[in-house]
Amino acid sequence: MPARILVVEDEAALSELLRYNLAAEGHEVSVCADGEEALVMVAEEAPDLVVLDWMLPGISGLEIARRLRARRATRDIPIIMLTARGAEEDRVRGLETGADDYLVKPFSMSELTARIRAVLRRTRPTLAGDVVTFGDIVLDRETRRIRRGEREIHLGPTEYRLLEVLMQRPGRVYAREQLLDRVWGTDVHVEIRTVDVHVGRLRRALNRPGERDPIRTVRSAGYALDETYPERG
Protein backbone atom coordinates (compact mmCIF):
# COMPACT_ATOMS: atom_id res chain seq x y z
CA MET A 1 0.00 0.00 0.00
CA PRO A 2 2.22 2.88 -1.22
CA ALA A 3 1.46 6.15 0.51
CA ARG A 4 2.71 9.70 0.75
CA ILE A 5 4.53 9.92 4.05
CA LEU A 6 5.94 13.00 5.73
CA VAL A 7 8.78 12.33 8.19
CA VAL A 8 9.35 15.09 10.75
CA GLU A 9 12.62 14.35 12.53
CA ASP A 10 15.53 16.63 13.43
CA GLU A 11 18.20 13.94 13.84
CA ALA A 12 19.71 13.91 10.36
CA ALA A 13 20.99 10.32 10.48
CA LEU A 14 17.66 8.90 11.62
CA SER A 15 15.76 11.08 9.17
CA GLU A 16 17.84 9.75 6.28
CA LEU A 17 17.44 6.16 7.48
CA LEU A 18 13.66 6.61 7.60
CA ARG A 19 13.56 8.24 4.18
CA TYR A 20 15.63 5.46 2.65
CA ASN A 21 13.71 2.59 4.21
CA LEU A 22 10.25 3.98 3.61
CA ALA A 23 11.12 4.76 -0.01
CA ALA A 24 12.38 1.18 -0.36
CA GLU A 25 8.91 0.06 0.79
CA GLY A 26 7.45 1.96 -2.15
CA HIS A 27 6.31 5.07 -0.30
CA GLU A 28 6.70 8.59 -1.54
CA VAL A 29 8.64 10.23 1.28
CA SER A 30 9.20 13.86 2.24
CA VAL A 31 11.31 14.87 5.20
CA CYS A 32 11.65 17.97 7.29
CA ALA A 33 13.46 18.82 10.49
CA ASP A 34 11.35 21.35 12.33
CA GLY A 35 7.81 22.02 13.39
CA GLU A 36 7.10 25.20 11.44
CA GLU A 37 8.19 23.57 8.22
CA ALA A 38 6.18 20.45 9.06
CA LEU A 39 2.95 22.44 9.32
CA VAL A 40 3.63 24.11 5.95
CA MET A 41 4.47 20.78 4.30
CA VAL A 42 1.36 19.07 5.65
CA ALA A 43 -0.77 21.89 4.24
CA GLU A 44 0.99 21.75 0.87
CA GLU A 45 1.40 18.04 0.40
CA ALA A 46 -1.58 16.55 2.24
CA PRO A 47 0.35 13.40 3.17
CA ASP A 48 -1.45 10.12 3.86
CA LEU A 49 0.50 9.71 7.09
CA VAL A 50 2.93 11.68 9.25
CA VAL A 51 5.81 10.13 11.19
CA LEU A 52 6.40 12.71 13.87
CA ASP A 53 9.25 13.05 16.34
CA TRP A 54 8.17 14.26 19.78
CA MET A 55 11.30 16.33 20.55
CA LEU A 56 11.84 18.93 17.85
CA PRO A 57 13.40 22.38 17.82
CA GLY A 58 10.75 25.10 17.92
CA ILE A 59 7.28 23.58 17.95
CA SER A 60 7.21 20.18 19.65
CA GLY A 61 5.77 17.08 18.02
CA LEU A 62 3.00 17.08 20.60
CA GLU A 63 2.01 20.61 19.62
CA ILE A 64 2.12 19.78 15.90
CA ALA A 65 -0.18 16.80 16.52
CA ARG A 66 -2.55 19.07 18.44
CA ARG A 67 -2.62 21.64 15.63
CA LEU A 68 -3.18 19.01 12.96
CA ARG A 69 -6.07 17.59 14.95
CA ALA A 70 -7.58 21.03 15.46
CA ARG A 71 -8.06 21.68 11.73
CA ARG A 72 -10.70 20.01 9.64
CA ALA A 73 -8.40 19.60 6.63
CA THR A 74 -5.71 17.79 8.61
CA ARG A 75 -7.72 16.19 11.40
CA ASP A 76 -7.84 12.72 9.87
CA ILE A 77 -4.22 12.42 8.78
CA PRO A 78 -2.79 9.48 10.72
CA ILE A 79 0.17 10.26 12.96
CA ILE A 80 2.81 7.88 14.27
CA MET A 81 4.74 9.55 17.06
CA LEU A 82 8.42 8.81 17.70
CA THR A 83 9.85 9.44 21.10
CA ALA A 84 12.65 8.71 23.47
CA ARG A 85 10.23 8.87 26.34
CA GLY A 86 8.64 5.67 27.41
CA ALA A 87 6.66 6.78 30.42
CA GLU A 88 3.04 5.64 30.49
CA GLU A 89 1.95 9.20 31.25
CA ASP A 90 3.60 10.48 28.06
CA ARG A 91 2.13 7.65 26.04
CA VAL A 92 -1.35 8.58 27.20
CA ARG A 93 -0.68 12.27 26.51
CA GLY A 94 0.51 11.42 23.01
CA LEU A 95 -2.57 9.35 22.28
CA GLU A 96 -4.92 11.93 23.75
CA THR A 97 -3.41 14.55 21.51
CA GLY A 98 -4.37 12.38 18.61
CA ALA A 99 -1.40 10.23 17.65
CA ASP A 100 -2.59 6.95 16.12
CA ASP A 101 0.40 5.02 17.25
CA TYR A 102 3.55 5.50 19.19
CA LEU A 103 7.08 4.13 18.86
CA VAL A 104 9.76 4.48 21.49
CA LYS A 105 13.33 5.01 20.26
CA PRO A 106 15.31 2.99 19.46
CA PHE A 107 12.98 0.96 17.23
CA SER A 108 13.64 -1.32 14.29
CA MET A 109 12.72 -0.33 10.75
CA SER A 110 10.65 -3.46 10.37
CA GLU A 111 8.65 -2.46 13.43
CA LEU A 112 8.01 0.99 12.01
CA THR A 113 7.02 -0.27 8.56
CA ALA A 114 4.68 -2.82 10.15
CA ARG A 115 3.03 -0.07 12.22
CA ILE A 116 2.69 2.13 9.14
CA ARG A 117 1.03 -0.69 7.23
CA ALA A 118 -1.37 -1.33 10.12
CA VAL A 119 -2.27 2.34 10.48
CA LEU A 120 -2.84 2.79 6.74
CA ARG A 121 -4.90 -0.37 6.52
CA ARG A 122 -7.27 0.79 9.19
CA THR A 123 -7.46 4.47 8.24
CA ARG A 124 -7.65 4.29 4.46
CA PRO A 125 -10.76 2.17 3.77
CA THR A 126 -12.95 4.31 5.99
CA LEU A 127 -12.13 7.56 4.23
CA ALA A 128 -14.71 6.88 1.55
CA GLY A 129 -17.98 5.09 1.20
CA ASP A 130 -21.16 4.62 3.14
CA VAL A 131 -20.44 1.12 4.30
CA VAL A 132 -17.81 0.70 6.98
CA THR A 133 -16.68 -2.73 8.12
CA PHE A 134 -14.65 -3.96 11.02
CA GLY A 135 -14.20 -7.73 11.16
CA ASP A 136 -17.70 -9.17 10.92
CA ILE A 137 -19.31 -5.86 11.91
CA VAL A 138 -20.84 -3.84 9.07
CA LEU A 139 -22.18 -0.33 9.52
CA ASP A 140 -24.20 1.20 6.69
CA ARG A 141 -24.39 4.96 7.04
CA GLU A 142 -27.07 5.32 4.39
CA THR A 143 -29.60 2.96 5.95
CA ARG A 144 -28.15 3.36 9.49
CA ARG A 145 -28.18 -0.42 9.79
CA ILE A 146 -25.62 -2.50 11.60
CA ARG A 147 -24.92 -6.20 11.28
CA ARG A 148 -22.60 -8.49 13.11
CA GLY A 149 -22.18 -11.53 10.88
CA GLU A 150 -25.69 -12.63 9.93
CA ARG A 151 -27.31 -10.83 12.83
CA GLU A 152 -28.88 -7.40 12.71
CA ILE A 153 -27.84 -5.17 15.63
CA HIS A 154 -30.30 -2.63 16.97
CA LEU A 155 -28.77 0.44 18.53
CA GLY A 156 -30.07 3.67 19.98
CA PRO A 157 -28.85 6.86 18.26
CA THR A 158 -26.09 7.48 20.82
CA GLU A 159 -24.71 3.94 20.62
CA TYR A 160 -24.91 4.13 16.82
CA ARG A 161 -22.88 7.33 16.76
CA LEU A 162 -20.42 5.89 19.29
CA LEU A 163 -19.82 2.82 17.14
CA GLU A 164 -19.53 4.97 14.02
CA VAL A 165 -16.85 7.10 15.66
CA LEU A 166 -14.90 4.06 16.89
CA MET A 167 -15.14 2.39 13.46
CA GLN A 168 -13.66 5.40 11.70
CA ARG A 169 -10.29 4.70 13.27
CA PRO A 170 -10.07 1.12 14.51
CA GLY A 171 -7.26 0.70 17.02
CA ARG A 172 -7.12 4.37 17.86
CA VAL A 173 -7.66 5.01 21.55
CA TYR A 174 -10.27 7.69 22.18
CA ALA A 175 -10.22 9.45 25.52
CA ARG A 176 -13.66 9.79 27.13
CA GLU A 177 -13.51 13.56 26.54
CA GLN A 178 -12.89 12.97 22.84
CA LEU A 179 -15.85 10.63 22.63
CA LEU A 180 -18.01 13.19 24.41
CA ASP A 181 -17.04 15.82 21.83
CA ARG A 182 -17.57 13.57 18.85
CA VAL A 183 -20.73 11.79 19.95
CA TRP A 184 -22.59 14.40 21.99
CA GLY A 185 -20.99 17.54 20.57
CA THR A 186 -18.91 20.18 22.28
CA ASP A 187 -21.76 22.41 23.44
CA VAL A 188 -23.65 19.83 25.45
CA HIS A 189 -22.86 19.27 29.10
CA VAL A 190 -22.65 15.55 29.74
CA GLU A 191 -20.95 13.79 32.62
CA ILE A 192 -17.84 11.87 31.66
CA ARG A 193 -19.34 8.74 33.26
CA THR A 194 -22.09 8.82 30.64
CA VAL A 195 -19.55 7.60 28.08
CA ASP A 196 -18.99 4.44 30.12
CA VAL A 197 -22.71 3.86 30.41
CA HIS A 198 -23.21 4.04 26.64
CA VAL A 199 -20.14 1.94 25.87
CA GLY A 200 -21.69 -0.66 28.20
CA ARG A 201 -24.96 -0.53 26.25
CA LEU A 202 -23.12 -0.76 22.95
CA ARG A 203 -21.27 -3.84 24.17
CA ARG A 204 -24.45 -5.53 25.32
CA ALA A 205 -26.06 -4.87 21.94
CA LEU A 206 -23.08 -6.12 19.94
CA ASN A 207 -22.01 -9.14 21.93
CA ARG A 208 -23.86 -12.33 22.63
CA PRO A 209 -22.61 -14.48 25.49
CA GLY A 210 -19.36 -16.18 24.51
CA GLU A 211 -18.72 -13.82 21.61
CA ARG A 212 -15.57 -11.78 21.39
CA ASP A 213 -15.87 -8.16 22.48
CA PRO A 214 -14.63 -5.86 19.69
CA ILE A 215 -14.25 -2.93 22.08
CA ARG A 216 -11.14 -2.54 24.17
CA THR A 217 -11.08 -0.55 27.41
CA VAL A 218 -7.69 1.11 27.77
CA ARG A 219 -6.98 1.77 31.42
CA SER A 220 -6.70 5.44 32.31
CA ALA A 221 -6.96 6.35 28.62
CA GLY A 222 -10.32 5.48 27.07
CA TYR A 223 -11.77 3.12 24.49
CA ALA A 224 -10.75 1.68 21.13
CA LEU A 225 -11.81 -0.97 18.71
CA ASP A 226 -9.58 -3.98 19.35
CA GLU A 227 -7.14 -4.34 16.45
CA THR A 228 -6.70 -8.01 17.21
CA TYR A 229 -10.41 -8.61 16.62
CA PRO A 230 -10.66 -11.27 13.89
CA GLU A 231 -11.00 -10.27 10.25
CA ARG A 232 -13.99 -12.55 9.95
CA GLY A 233 -16.32 -13.59 12.78
Binding-site ranges for Ca ion (CB under 5 A): 10, 53, 55
Cβ proximity to Ca ion: between 11 and 25 the closer is 11
Cβ proximity to Ca ion: between 55 and 190 the closer is 55
Task: Give the shortest CB-16-to-Ca ion separation in angstroms.
Answer: 14
Task: Give the shortest CB-169-to-Ca ion separation in angstroms.
Answer: 26
Q: List Cβ neighbours of 21 (8 Å cut-off, separation of 6 or more).
A: 109, 112, 113
Cβ proximity to Ca ion: between 53 and 164 the closer is 53
d(CA 52, CA 91): 14
Cβ proximity to Ca ion: between 55 and 59 the closer is 55
Which SS3 state, helix, strand or coil, does residue 180 take?
A: helix
Task: Give the shortest CB-223-to-Ca ion separation in angstroms.
Answer: 31
Task: Give the shortest CB-55-to-Ca ion separation in angstroms.
Answer: 4
Cβ proximity to Ca ion: between 10 and 227 the closer is 10
Q: The sheet that has 145-148: what strands, in order across it?
A: 131-134, 137-140, 145-148, 151-153
Nearest residue to 39 via CA among 16, 19, 17, 66 = 66
Cβ proximity to Ca ion: between 11 and 226 the closer is 11
**Own/partner pairs, 89-97, CB within 8 angstroms, 24+ separation:** 90/54, 92/220, 92/221, 93/62, 94/54, 94/62, 94/65, 95/172, 95/173, 95/175, 95/221, 96/175, 96/177, 96/178, 96/221, 97/62, 97/65, 97/66, 97/69
Cβ proximity to Ca ion: between 56 and 163 the closer is 56
Distance from chain centroid for Cα 134 = 14
Q: List Cβ neighbours of 182 (8 Å cut-off, separation of 6 or more).
A: 161, 165, 174
Task: Give the shortest CB-232-to-Ca ion separation in angstroms.
Answer: 41
Task: Give the shortest CB-140-to-Ca ion separation in angstroms.
Answer: 44
